[in-house]
Structure 1
Amino acid sequence: MLIVGERINTSRKGIEPAVRSRDLEFINNEVVLQVAAGAGMIDVNAGTLLEGEPEALAWLTQVAQAEANVPLCLDSPNPLALSAALKVHKGKALINSISGEEERYRAIIPLAKEYQAAVVALTMDNNGMPTDAMGRLNVARKLIQRLNADGIDLSDIYIDPLVQPIGSDSNQGAAVLGTISVIKAEYPDVHVICGLSNISYGLPIRRLLNRTFLAMCVTMGLDGVICDPLDRDMMKAIYASAALVGKDEFCMGYINAFREQRLD
């Protein structure tokens, strides 16, 4: 189960000032805390800096990888920012993201090929984002086939079914679960990844909904999650879910988490 730490995002309180001032200690601390909590990859996003995004994302990439030996999820729709970050990234990066939108696809695919990066593929295209499972599946299938034809290995494709709030459409949870299940059945080498917290937007006790939805998604085949690894309850749900559905060989991830007192 791939856990991508989401905390280094300039839309979060405290992160943008730290990036603007190039506060090395602050960013280092964020990296260390997330890796220590179980993140196997760190997401870096400098999207609020607009004109300064390419330089900021490249700086974040260098700082994060200097502090921790983990790959990064380079989170930007801006090809200039992605290019700057990919030039300094060590190892295989994960580009977040590409989609079926023609302009975006054409801008990002050359970077993925040049740097042999994996890609998060959003289930949306020039017609927008489908609201049901069938629409999401149609977009996902086309993206998988096109990416693979363009030289991206199936194992380097991470489909994001785009979680939307159930508070405004009670069918959104079921749509995501259905999308995950079919994608994993049809393309077992393709990964499915998503951020979960949007499912509970506007509702009370959001963490309860998020954790429950996480377990349901893992059951359907979800094998990557973008989350705050400092949310101990969410992390406990991830370890337990992965063990229960056979995504944790000999339950070693769960056992190690117990030994490291992450399940308290």
Structure 2
Amino acid sequence: MTNAYILTLSCPDRLGLVHAVSGFLLEHGGNIEEAAQYNDNATGLFFMRVQFACDQHDHATLKTRLASFAEPHQMRWSLHATAQPVKTVLMVSKEGHCLNDLLFRWKSGLLPIDIRAIISNHRDFYQLAASYNVPFHHIPLTGSTKAQAEAKQYEIIEAEGAELVVLARYMQILSLDLCQKLAGRAINIHHSFLPSFKGAKPYYQAHDRGVKLIGATAHYVTADLDEGPIIEQDVARADHTDTVEDLTARGRDTESQVLARAVKWHSEHRVLLNGHKTVIFR
């Protein structure tokens, strides 16, 4: 049986890296099916994503040999079996359009994820979760109970072995501690085209400024509010006749699509971090 893998890596740029990687895969019986690379001249870093088939070695053996290969090149790398969907936990508050969209896409086979649980600070969507047979965890949160609530949230995330946490309109600011624990594996959807209109009520801010475009931004979560590395963005037209309610309703579709694309690319291991930016091999 032939196994399929995705190898992602980054390292200081130098001559012959593509040749070295392809040579390593050839030596270990790997047949390259898809490959992309990028040289960032500003940072001097090299990025690569390779999808390959291999029937000579198992996952553990390949990882061991990759570690030895990568060390002299100072590579940061990861190896994923394509047959294993990314274990995912969703977090939501009282706006359910992104949650509903992700659940539908997952059950339709459009996202290579395995939704293990839904966490919410409200009870609004327990019936939606039940309809998809996904465990629903209601964890109320106030200023005085935030630390205890986040401890419970993280306990669930770890118990489910979550490799990805999606803030699908979870309208609470994560603590520095939780942001650090979830670094590189938590995606947020912000209902604005960042860096404009950060924080709360961006549609109100947009309406007040009379913008002609509204947008949505999916980004990795960091301790700096709405400033994490951006994965995907999109916009929708607006004009002077639009009310805040019009902008909010139109924006929901954009938010859902942007978040779904970001989740898809992340779970297909197409997103590599490059400082405060991302490299995306679409």
> So what's the TM-score if we normalise by structure 2?
0.31
Which entry has the higher C-alpha Rg, 1 or 2?
Answer: 2
Q: Higher strand share goes to which structure? A: 2
